Homo-oligomer: A and B are copies of this chain.
Amino acid sequence: MSLVTLQDIRDARTVIGDRLVRTPLVPSAHLSQRTGARVSLKLELFQQTGSFKPRGVLNALAALPPDERARGVISLSAGNHAQALAWAANAIGVPATIVMPATAVQAKVEATRGYGGDVIQTEGDLLATTQHLQRERQLAFVHPFDEPVVIAGQGTVGLEIAEDAPDIRLVIVGCGGGGLLAGVAAAIRALCPRARVIGVEPVGAPAMHESLAQGHPVRLASTTTIADGLAAPFAGTHTLAHAQAFVDEVVLVEDAEILDAMRTLMRHARILPEPAGAAATAALLGGRLMITPGDHVAVVVSGGNADPALLKSLL
């Protein structure tokens, strides 16, 4: 299986152009003091639609043949991929259908519609419904994580980190299906070969951790975590291959640690992350990573589409 190259990621950035936010890498005095490292936060929650997801989607849409793009695209998601696909498709004038569970949070359904997406909610099987619609309407499927073009798009996060902090020694990234982790690791390995890249999964959704241990993609019977953005029940074939090649380790964090990290980011970094966006911070604060004093550490805050009631409970 071929891996995404630095050139693929640079090409993705050209495709993305100025449609997306070049998110800032901001030093955190509090996290630096607590860890002894120089900690910076990659604030991807300031991205369009509130997460890193549109980077990969825009790159995937650009890679479609013109006739497929004209017919439109489809995907399934209850969360950030839904909003990103609706937004990105709308930004370049492509019709987008998003299949969401009937139980999806109403705010996310409305946000996806607000970005121009055609939302279809189902009580049935999400994948079966999506595949049926895809065939019937001849739509192109945009995978939420397991495509090289998606991985290359997410890799632009790593490209920006390497540009802003060429002295980086450790990059910590949350992992659901693994698209962001795979892309960031590919970029960092190429540009900052001395830096370690650590993935972070919830204890209750360790698909990549298990897949790495077993050497092939593992499907979990179930997942349970507060971090819905990291709850993918399987790692991708492509994302696993990238993790095997480029990632130093995938560590697990408890939900309680994620909630603590959210509280810390709210109080001391003055940002409002979603649980998935705080997982990397949780790993940093959990004390199980080897941190060399004075090293420059980048922590990716991948998204900010949190339930306001949850945020309220943490303030």
- Residue of B whose beta carbon sits closest to that of A265: B272
The distance from the CB of A135 to the nearest CB of chain B, in whole angstroms, is 34
Q: CB distance B48 to A29 under 8 Å?
A: yes
Q: Which of B23, B26, B43 contacts A21 (CB 8 A)?
A: B26
Interface status of A194 (Cβ within 8 A of chain B): no
- Residue of B whose beta carbon sits closest to that of A28: B46
- Residue of B whose beta carbon sits closest to that of A29: B48
> Which residues of chain B are near A267, meaning CB under 8 Å?
308
Known: A48-B29, A315-B308. A266 touches B272 (CB 8 A): yes
Q: Which of B271, B273, B315 contacts A311 (CB 8 A)?
A: B315
Contact with B along A273-315 (1 / 0, CB 8 A): 1000000000000000000000000000000100010011001
> Which residues of chain B are near A24, meaning CB under 8 Å?
24, 26, 43
> Which residues of chain B are near A27, meaning CB under 8 Å?
21
- Residue of B whose beta carbon sits closest to that of A18: B27
Interface status of A177 (Cβ within 8 A of chain B): no
Complex: A266 Cα to B50 Cα, angstroms = 12
Known: A24-B24, A29-B48. A270 touches B315 (CB 8 A): no
The distance from the CB of A90 to the nearest CB of chain B, in whole angstroms, is 12
Q: Which of B26, B29, B50 contacts A270 (CB 8 A)?
A: B50
Complex: A304 Cα to B50 Cα, angstroms = 20
Interface status of A45 (Cβ within 8 A of chain B): yes
The distance from the CB of A153 to the nearest CB of chain B, in whole angstroms, is 18
Q: Which of A21, A27, A270 has the most CB of B within 10 A?
A: A270
Could you give 9 example pairs across A and B, Cβ below 8 Å?
A21-B26, A21-B27, A24-B26, A26-B46, A267-B308, A271-B272, A311-B315, A312-B312, A312-B315
